[in-house]
A and B are shown apart, each in its own frame.
Chain A
Amino acid sequence: MTEKTKSYTDRTWDFLCSLKLTIVLLLLLALTSIIGTLIQQNAPAADYIREYGQANYELFKKLQFTDMYSSSWFIGILALFSVNLICCSIKNFPRVWKFFKEPLLVAGPGTFKGSTNTAEFSSKDSKQEVADRVSTLLKKEIGKPRLTEKEGKLYLFAQKGIYSRLGPYITHLSILIVMAGAIIGNIWGYKAYVNIVEGSSIDQVLSRNGTVPIDLGFTVRCDDFDVSYYPNSNRPKDYNSDLVILENGQEMARKRIEVNHPLTYKGITFYQSSYGPAGSAFFKVKATENASGETVEVKAQQGQNVPLPNGYSFAVTNFTENDRNFGPAMQMRIKTPDGKNGAPFVVWQNFPQFDVKRGGVFNFALLGFEQPQFTGLQVAKDPGVNIVWLGCFLMVFGSLSAFFFSHKRVWVCLEEDGKKTKVLLAGNAHRNQPGFSLAFEELQEKVETSVKNEFQKKEG
């Protein structure tokens, strides 16, 4: 191939690896993301037309501003960003890997002379003796040193925190992992919702973006729903549903869910999200036969004919929560065994004795009324979510190790110098140099003490 094409691929590669591209893309992502916070996303067309006019709406549609976070151009920027991340890592990783594979065991004279953190001592003891002592010290202070002999000189190398070199790469990988998790969730998962009336069950849910029913593969029954309020207010404190999971008629799981405490079964999670009234209310009615004193307690819906002993029946024909300040009251009538309707009469919940006075075959008491509720559940299946959490964990872990730990290296060179031993010391850290310089000064003192063997003198 000609040289031109090669340099063209090279240039493309350099472009894709470049940090300038990273910065531009990050700023571009920040800037374009603003659009979707100013223009409402996924609203009905009429809303946009009302607010911005027809022409602007057409423009928004064309630019995909009404669903911009899944627009082709936004996904495109994210894709280019990922490519940038991958290329840059591929390009730089070998350089980092070298620190693991081929640590610089023997430092050249440049390291001992030219760098910031260096020191030089001399000792009366032999090379080997000094090496032993310094090794023990380095092992304690930095890490087990490695000894190399070269051209009559002894070299020591110790290091600490080499894994922090991987920090940026772990962070970068974590971003790709999060994206992968999000993509998996988008392809193989769904977001849906369902309303279940208390006492009933469902085996399908409705997709949140569209109204396609989705088969769950099992049945969910709601046994009970409750709302509790804060004392003396109508602020809801909690609402919860007793859910039961059934497969082939068999109970597989049961949980009382509430907001922030969902139920998960077979990868599908049910979140308490709303509630509301379902159908007409039930009245709890106690009927007493005046002759025998026998009582029955029944549940009645408005308009429904409810059987009583001896062929009688009754129906609740009307209800009010507050009848002229007397509290809840129902209007009802009795049907005799021969099918005749009696005259309507009223029963007040708070004054049961009134109906005893009415006479007749039965007297009634209103024990309570219940409005059946439906519980509104968000339903989600997201097989990618744990991958996202893994990515998040690595992201925090990786950026902390990148920012707050550094790879510290220390080199020592021991050289015979007449009867003495010349000791050269050097160190560096790949970040936080001022901090390392302080640590190095301390180390330097300890090495000096050790080299000159001052411990023993003091002890002896």
Chain B
Amino acid sequence: MDSGQLFNLTTVAYFAAMVLFFAYIASKNKTVALVATLASLAGFLIQTAALGLRWYESYQILGADGRAPLTNLYESVVFFAWSILLIYLLMDWKYKQRTIGAFVLPIALFSMLWAQMSLSSTIDPLVPALQSNWLTYHVITCFLGYAGFAVAFGVSIMYLLKIGKEEKHTGDGPMGGVLGMFPATKVLDNLNYTAIMIGFPLLTLGIITGAAWANYAWGTYWSWDPKETWSLIVWFLYAAFIHARFTRGWVGRRAAWLSIFGFAATLFCYLGVNLVLSGLHSYGGA
């Protein structure tokens, strides 16, 4: 079995988990939720094994030049999906809000599908600039940060869906229907903040390790190239979000929108810069 097949299996597991989460929201059956969570966990474990196997395969193909599977667009998109699951599963373990899976797994699933259907998965040797341990630290921290923001994004969508209905909802009885299954808006607002609290220090570390690496390779820790600048833009947005909590009027709906804008900027930083703008970073031209 090779890593590609394991990644296929991962995709199937994430798809199953997503469908089961939808089924849970529709059926309100707790067992379905448990199976959905187990399917996500299984997918995550298979993906972990696949990443390990791909790492091993790189040594088989390149000999001593093997490296962690974090160096081209395909590998980064796959790692993005893995990071999202990691953060999601940790938050699920702690907060046990099962419905969130329905809004987070689609992001991971979409990443896996995109990577497998349209990105090149060949294992190529690295150009000298990329042969650095800083690359590994940089990619891991950035992507875990992005994953925190992805979870916050999913939760924010849920918040906006629910708050709209809640405000129109009259009477004292609990809200029925699909939205009734969602966590309370206050809980969602808090989870949004929690996910960003996980993502923000990780992104900070990601920017710092990137700067350290640039300094080590080229002698400048900051050169305002588009990728760096966009990571700073994302950082500014989430810093604004964090401080917005202290000011009345910037929680709830506005916070959810800020989180959504933040994630859009994150995606642009990750993909848009390479596919639309040009710069020093290597994932472009995919």
Residue from B197, B217, B221, B239 within 8 A of A260 (CB atoms): B217
A79 to B78, CA, bound (A): 40
- In the bound complex, CA of A359 to CA of B264 (Å): 79
**Would you call B131 and A259 a contact (CB within 8 A)?**
yes
CB pair A33 B232 closer than 8 Å: yes
In the complex, the chain B residue whose C-beta lies closest to that of A380 is B219
Q: Are B233 and A379 in contact (CB under 8 A)?
A: no
Find B240's partner among A30, A37, A400 (CB 8 Å cutoff). A30
**B171 sits at the interface (CB 8 A):** no
CB neighbours of B273 from chain A (8 A): 37
Q: Chain B residues near A182 (CB, 8 Å)?
A: 222
**B219 close to A33 (CB less than 8 A):** no
- CB within 8 Å of B: which A339-397 residues: 378-380, 382, 385, 388-389, 392, 395-396
Closest to B233 in A: A30
Distance (Å) between the CB of A138 and the closest chain B CB?
Answer: 27
Q: Nearest-CB distance from B198 to chain A (Å)? A: 8
The stretch that binds B, out of A20-28, A49-57, A248-256, is A20-28
Binds A, one of B96-104, B111-119, B122-130, B154-162: B122-130
Q: For the complex, what is the distance from the CA of A191 to the CA of B273, rounded to whole Å?
A: 26
Q: In whole Å, how far is A262's beta carbon from the nearest beta carbon of chain B?
A: 7
Interface residues of B in 251-286 (CB under 8 A from A): 265, 273, 277
A23, A38, A191, A273: most-surrounded residue (chain B CB, <10 A): A23
* Residues on the A chain within 8 Å of B45, using CB: none
Which of A23, A385, A396 contacts B243, CB < 8 Å? A23
- The number of residue pairs between A and B whose CB atoms lie closer than 8 Å in the complex comes to 103
Q: Which residue of B lies closest to A41 (CB)?
A: B224
A147-160 near B? 1/0 per residue, CB < 8 Å: 00000000000000
With A34-B233, A237-B65 known as contacts, the answer to whether A260 contacts B222 (CB < 8 A) is no
For B238, give the chain A residue with the smallest CB separation. A26
B197 touches A26 (CB 8 A): no
Contact among A191, A259, A269, A379 for B129, CB-based, below 8 A:
A259
Q: Which of B185-209 contact A (CB under 8 A)?
A: 197, 200-201, 204-205, 208
- Chain A residues near B19: list those with CB within 8 A: none
Closest 5 CB pairs of A and B: A380-B219, A259-B128, A26-B240, A30-B236, A37-B226
Chain A 212-250 near chain B by CB (<8 Å), digits 1 or 0: 000000000000000000100101111100000000000
CB distance from B237 to the nearest CB of A (A): 5
Complex Cα gap A452–B125 (Å): 70
User: Taking the complex as formed, is B244 at the interface, i.e. its CB lies under 8 A from any CB of chain A?
Assistant: yes
> Nearest chain-B residue to A228 (Cβ)?
B128
Residue A283 at the B interface, CB < 8 A? no
User: Known contacts A37-B226, A395-B204; is A380 also within 8 Å of B211 by CB?
Assistant: no
A29 within 8 A of B: yes
Partner of B215, one of A238, A259, A385: A385
Once the chains bind, are B243 and A237 in contact (CB under 8 Å)?
no
Which of B19-42 touch A at CB < 8 Å? Answer: none
Q: In the complex, A22→B237 CA distance in Å? A: 11
Number of chain A interface residues as a range = 35 or more
Tell me if A66 counts as interface (CB < 8 A to partner B).
no
Task: Provide the residues of chain A in CB contact with B236, threshold 8 Å.
Answer: 26-27, 29-30, 33
**8 Å CB contact of A403 from B201, B215, B218, B220:** B201
Of the A-B pairs whose beta carbons lie under 8 Å apart in the complex, a sample of 7, sorted by A's number, is: A33-B236, A260-B216, A271-B218, A379-B219, A395-B204, A400-B201, A403-B197
Q: Interface readout for A415-438 with B: 1 if CB under 8 Å, 0 if not?
A: 000000000000000000000000
Residues of B within 8 A of A271 (CB): 217-219
Considering the complex, which residues of chain A in the window 6-54 have a beta carbon less than 8 Å from any beta carbon of chain B?
Answer: 19-20, 22-23, 26-27, 29-30, 33-34, 36-38, 41
Contact A380 B220 (CB under 8 A): yes
CB-CB under 8 A from A260, the residues of chain B are 128-129, 131-132, 134, 216-217
CA distance A38 to B230 in the complex (A): 11
Query: Is A19 in contact with B243, judged by CB distance below 8 angstroms?
Result: yes
Task: Identify 10 new A-B residue pairs, CB closer than 8 A, beyond the known A26-B237, A379-B219, A396-B204.
Answer: A22-B240, A26-B236, A26-B240, A26-B243, A69-B224, A182-B222, A235-B125, A238-B128, A259-B129, A260-B134
How far does the Cβ of B274 sit from chain A's closest Cβ, in whole Å?
12
Q: How far is the CA of A191 from the CA of B129 in the complex (A)?
A: 19
Known: A258-B128, A271-B218, A389-B212. A36 touches B224 (CB 8 A): yes
Q: Considering the chains assembled together, what is the distance between the CA atoms of A259 and B216 in angstroms?
A: 9
A164 within 8 A of B: no
Known interface pairs A392-B208, A395-B204. Does A23 touch B219 (Cβ–Cβ under 8 Å)?
no
Q: Are A33 and B221 in contact (CB under 8 A)?
A: no
Q: Is A399 an interface residue (CB 8 A)?
A: yes
In the complex, what residues of B have CB within 8 A of residue A238's CB? 128, 131
A262 and B134 CA atoms in complex are apart in Å by 14
A52 to B182, CA, bound (A): 50
Which of B131, B211, B217, B229 is close to A37, meaning CB atoms less than 8 Å apart? B229
CB closest residue in chain B, given A182: B222
Bound CA–CA A182/B223 (angstroms): 12
Q: Tell me which of B208, B212, B221 has the highest count of chain A C-beta atoms within 10 A of its own C-beta.
A: B221
A382 and B219 CA atoms in complex are apart in Å by: 9
**How near does chain B come to A64, taking the closest CB pair, in angstroms?**
14
Query: What's the Cα separation between A69 and B240 when bound, in Å?
Result: 20
The answer for the CA separation of A233 and B226 in the assembled complex, in Å, is 31
Residue in B closest to A268 when the chains form the complex, CB atoms: B219
Within the complex, what minimum Cβ distance (angstroms) separates A369 from chain B? 25
State the CA gap A233–B128 with chains docked (Å). Answer: 14
Q: Are A236 and B127 in contact (CB under 8 A)?
A: yes
Q: What is the bound-complex CA distance between A123 and B32, given in angstroms?
A: 49
Cross-chain contact B237 with A239 (CB below 8 angstroms): no
- Distance A36 CA – B125 CA, assembled complex (angstroms): 33
**What residues on A are CB-neighbors of B205 within 8 Å?**
396
CA distance A37 to B221 in the complex (A): 18
Q: How far is the CB of A71 from chain B (nearest CB, A)?
A: 12
CB distance from B229 to the nearest CB of A (A): 5
Contact of A396 among B201, B232, B247 (CB under 8 A): B201
**Contact: B201 with A235, CB < 8 Å?**
no
In Å, the complex CA distance between A117 and B201 comes to 30
B250 within 8 A of A: yes
- A392 contacts across to B, CB distance below 8 A: 208, 211
A420 to chain B, nearest CB (A): 40
Residues of B near A33 (CB, < 8 A) are 229, 232-233, 236
